[in-house]
């Protein structure tokens, strides 16, 4: 189906599995990814998700052969590959080896965290094919990188090393080649050990507050966060600290 799924200790692993096409997204893969993102949102056993690619590459973007065949890779409401416009309630971490190009780069931009191999390559190459990076590149990249750097990536369509993007703060962990997935899973396990309700609300505020007026941001934040302080998990966290034990989270 183009995507493999595994779940261990609260961490879901989604692997784009079209190595023969550098994991480029065709219609079937977009549908499969959308269904798995819905599962990540709804499954209480999932605390964090990691998204990666098989065969040494993350994703080369839209499968241009599928595009010419008229396949739909941009789905209503959830966007390219079922990811770029989706509302994802759990933290999503990109683990990147090899190429993350065009739509593949835009998938990574939709993730909360990025772990990349030192020799990974990134590029918004759409303009080289007469296309535009409208799956998030044009609107997300200037919010995640300095505007001049973002403009260079968008307008030249060139491919850049992970080290450049790391230098400007886009990448959370830069690791040796072949270690991106292990590092991302380690980061995911740290997040999964925290209170799931607190993590989900924290992610929501981080995402939504970018557009809040400064005069309203604390009021809006308090509406979302106040229930966390009244939750069973908050009491369990305090109790576990006092009793010097690991918390047992209920997500409520």
Q: Which domain holds residue 217?
A: 196-242
Q: Does residue 252 lie in a domain region?
A: no
- Residue 31: what pLDDT? 95
Q: Compute the average pLDDT of residues 79-83.
A: 96
Asked if residue 128 and residue 187 are part of one domain, the reply reads yes
Length of the chain (residues): 252
> Which among 77, 97, 118, 126 is annotated as catalytic?
126
Rounded percentage of the chain residues whose pLDDT exceeds 90: 93
Q: Where are the alpha helices (DSSP H) in 110-250?
A: 137-144, 147-156, 162-167, 180-192, 196-208, 217-229, 232-242
Catalytic residue check, 71: no
pLDDT in tens, 106-155: 999 999 999 999 999 999 999 998 999 999 999 999 999 999 999 999 99
Asked if residue 216 and residue 100 are part of one domain, the reply reads no
Is the model's pLDDT at 190 over the cut of 80?
A: yes
User: How many structural domains compose the chain?
Assistant: 2
- Residue 252: what pLDDT? 83
pTM, entire model: 0.94
Is the model's pLDDT at 67 over the cut of 90?
A: no
Q: 77: which residues sit within 8 A by CB, 6+ positions away?
A: 85, 86
User: Nearest to residue 204, comparing CAs of 232, 223, 191, 188?
Assistant: 223
Asked if residue 95 and residue 213 are part of one domain, the reply reads no
Q: 39: which residues sit within 8 A by CB, 6+ positions away?
A: 5, 12, 46
CA distance 146 to 43: 36
Asked if residue 127 and residue 80 are part of one domain, the reply reads yes
* CATH number for the domain that contains residue 124: 3.90.226.10
- What is the chain's Cα-based Rg? 19
Catalytic residue check, 106: yes
Q: Does residue 104 lie in a domain region?
A: yes
Crossing angle of helices 217-229 and 232-242, in 10° steps, is 70
Is the model's pLDDT at 1 over the cut of 70?
A: no
Q: In what order do the strands lie in the sheet with 121-123?
A: 99-101, 121-123, 160-161
Asked if residue 154 and residue 124 are part of one domain, the reply reads yes
Asked if residue 177 and residue 219 are part of one domain, the reply reads no
Q: Which helix (H) or strand (E) holds 105?
A: helix 103-109
Name which residue leads in pLDDT, 129 or 1.
129
CA distance 44 to 60: 31
Is the model's pLDDT at 251 over the cut of 90?
A: no
Instruction: List Cα–Cα distances, 109 to 50, 67, 104, 136, 191, in angstroms.
Output: 14, 22, 9, 7, 19
Q: In what order do the strands lie in the sheet with 173-175?
A: 3-8, 11-16, 48-53, 92-96, 113-117, 173-175
Asked if residue 174 and residue 154 are part of one domain, the reply reads yes
Q: Compute the average pLDDT of residues 218-244.
A: 93
Asked if residue 56 and residue 162 are part of one domain, the reply reads yes
Is the model's pLDDT at 210 over the cut of 90?
A: no
CA distance 99 to 230: 45
Asked if residue 215 and residue 203 are part of one domain, the reply reads yes
Asked if residue 183 and residue 228 are part of one domain, the reply reads no
Q: Does residue 250 lie in a domain region?
A: no
Q: Does residue 172 lie in a domain region?
A: yes
Q: Compute the average pLDDT of residues 58-78.
A: 92
> Which among 106, 152, 179, 236 is annotated as catalytic?
106
Asked if residue 176 and residue 54 are part of one domain, the reply reads yes
Asked if residue 238 and residue 144 are part of one domain, the reply reads no
């Amino acid at each position: 189906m183009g995507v493999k799924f595994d779940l261990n200790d609260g961490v879901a692993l989604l692997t784009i599995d079209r190595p023969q096409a550098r994991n480029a997204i065709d219609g079937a893969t977009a549908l499969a990814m959308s269904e798995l993102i819905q599962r990540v949102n709804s499954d209480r056993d999932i605390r964090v998700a990691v998204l990666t690619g098989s065969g040494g590459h993350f994703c080369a973007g839209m499968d241009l052969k599928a595009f010419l065949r008229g396949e739909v890779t941009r789905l209503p409401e959830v966007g390219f590959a079922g990811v770029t416009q989706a509302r994802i309630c759990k933290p999503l971490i990109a683990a990147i080896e090899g190429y993350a190009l065009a739509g593949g780069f835009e998938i990574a931009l939709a993730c909360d965290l990025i772990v990349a191999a030192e020799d990974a390559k990134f590029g918004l190459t759409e303009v080289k094919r007469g296309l535009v990076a409208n799956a998030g590149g044009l609107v997300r990249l200037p919010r995640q990188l300095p505007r001049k750097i973002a403009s260079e990536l968008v307008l030249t369509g060139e491919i850049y090393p992970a080290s450049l993007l790391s230098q400007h703060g886009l990448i959370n962990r830069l690791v040796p080649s072949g270690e991106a997935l292990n590092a991302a899973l380690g980061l995911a396990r740290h997040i999964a050990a925290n209170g799931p309700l607190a993590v989900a609300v924290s992610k929501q505020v981080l995402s939504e507050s970018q557009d809040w007026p400064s005069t309203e941001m604390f009021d809006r934040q308090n509406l979302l966060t106040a229930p966390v302080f009244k939750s069973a998990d908050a009491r369990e966290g305090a109790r576990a600290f006092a009793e010097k034990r690991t918390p047992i989270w209920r997500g409520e």
